[in-house]
Amino acid sequence: MGSVKDYFKGFGMGLRSLVQGMEVTGKEFLTKKVTEKYPENRDNVPVAPRFRAILTLTYDAEGRHKCISCGMCQRSCPNGTINIESKMVELADGKKKKQLVNWMYDLGSCTFCQLCVTNCPTGAITFSNDFEQSVFTRELLVKKLNYLPEPPIEPAPAPAQPAAPAEPAK
């Protein structure tokens, strides 16, 4: 007798489960569908404001960036995505200053952890929302971020040459 009772109990549970599943499917079937027409409306694609796509070096209106070539971003990167080259230049007042030569970024190995952005003391780098970064070769994922020419730094004045003694007139 217990076997027939268990059969109908299992049949009832299965039937209830089927009705619940059909209810969910019916609701989804009747809701309005939303389709993103992606390639056609590239300008209007909703991207989350906190989306991290690619690093950019921020420039001001005069074409100068805030990077002081301290290397904090390079040291904080967990997998060596960032490579900074700098040189020492002497200013007009005789002081020495680091000048950025190359700020290289490998997008293919970046984990988008944002450690470089948070550790930058001057706020020179940020993540952009430009999500279209697909390329056909990995070499194209290595980017030079200081793409604008560096404004010239006034060099130190050359040491004055002692005046040559005047030759006696003949």
pLDDT, tens only, 80-114: 999 999 988 888 888 888 888 899 999 999 999 99
52 & 135 share domain = yes
Q: Percentage of residues in the chain with pLDDT exceeding 90?
A: 38
pTM of the model: 0.62
Give the whole-angstrom CA distance, residue 162 versus residue 170: 24
Q: Indicate the number of domains in the chain.
A: 2
Q: What is the pLDDT of residues 135-159, one digit of tens each?
A: 899 999 999 888 777 666 665 555 5
Say what the alpha-carbon torsion angle 94, 61, 104, 101 is, to the nearest 10 degrees: -20
CATH number of the domain where residue 125 is located:
3.30.70.3270
- For the cut 60, the answer to whether the pLDDT of residue 57 exceeds it is yes
Residue linked to tokens 């030759």 = 167
50 & 121 share domain = yes
* Type of residue numbered 162: P
28 & 51 share domain = no
Range of the domain at 26: 1-32
91 & 12 share domain = no
111 & 136 share domain = yes
* Type of residue numbered 159: P
118 confidence band (pLDDT: 50, 70, 90):
very high
